[in-house]
Structure 1
């Protein structure tokens, strides 16, 4: 990748990179409490990073995580295949427009191919704050119009 950026998948041994990614998400999304307030303990994080369903990829420059994405592999039941869902993609403001988000998604495509996934999907909000994301995803993929619903688990009988 140009401009001195390095893109790599985070492994279970890369807890410092994951900490950097969490910090980057907090800053990029202006939600530091969400991403740093109650961080999981190292054992939990190693288990997540070592799982077969979670993928984390970061962009590093001068030893600092400046961007990253978190994705989940969803194994399908109707066929022996899977989909990859990009859950979060963040790049620090001062490092945007450098091709980092595109490079992160290109790296995810390689991971998805190894895992024999047939598609990668992502959602974006329709507000002004997501215009850059929508432009990026439009450049890289096909737009579908869908509705998204959050269903609370509060009040569920356990």
Structure 2
């Protein structure tokens, strides 16, 4: 099968592609209020995309964003290394099962290695709608059983 998409890392000037990725996330996660209605302004997105600790990758097919990955580099204190955390990863429903999510993660692996990261990690929800993501992550990595807690700031 011929790959019909390309992977592109986003930089500070890629505001349109970032907006397209946010729209894709809102649609894929069923949360347009989070990803579309409260979208940060251009100055905020430019700072984020230009930062040393944020990575955004898109998969484009025929000029359309069909996949996206947002990750953060966490610089460690106990050793001179870092970890990459995949915060969001989504592929348009019409383009799933084409290797796009795997290609996005593979591209992140190269960036992570260049930055001295020793691991990439991701959290996954456990609902029936998350089975495909869990299967992908199980194929690419080692599963750990952990608890997750949200601690309110105020």
Q: How high is the TM-score relative to the length of structure 1?
A: 0.95
Provide the rounded CA distance (Å) in 2 between the counterparts of 1:46 and 1:39.
Answer: 13
Between Structure 1 and Structure 2, how many residues are aligned?
Answer: 154
**Which aligned segments of 4 or more residues in structure 1 are displaced greater than 2 angstroms?**
none
Which residue does the alignment assign to 1:70? 70
Which residue does the alignment assign to 2:39? 39
Provide the rounded CA distance (Å) in 2 between the counterparts of 1:126 and 1:65.
Answer: 26
Using the TM superposition, give the Cα deviation of residue 70 of structure 1 relative to its aligned residue in structure 2, in angstroms: 0.3
Provide the rounded CA distance (Å) in 1 between the counterparts of 2:17 and 2:67.
Answer: 11
* Alignment gaps of 5+ in structure 1: none
Does residue 9 (structure 1) correspond to residue 9 (structure 2)? The answer is yes
Which residue does the alignment assign to 1:19? 19
Provide the rounded CA distance (Å) in 2 between the counterparts of 1:38 and 1:23.
Answer: 11
Which residue does the alignment assign to 1:82? 82
* Alignment gaps of 5+ in structure 2: none
Provide the rounded CA distance (Å) in 2 between the counterparts of 1:53 and 1:25.
Answer: 20
Which residue does the alignment assign to 2:105? 105
Which residue does the alignment assign to 1:147? 147
Using the TM superposition, give the Cα deviation of residue 2 of structure 1 relative to its aligned residue in structure 2, in angstroms: 3.5
Which residue does the alignment assign to 2:123? 123
Which residue does the alignment assign to 1:49? 49
Once the two structures are superposed, residues 22-71 of structure 1 have per-residue CA deviations (whole angstroms, 9 ceiling, x without a partner) of 01001111111110101111111110000000000010011110111100
Using the TM superposition, give the Cα deviation of residue 14 of structure 1 relative to its aligned residue in structure 2, in angstroms: 0.8
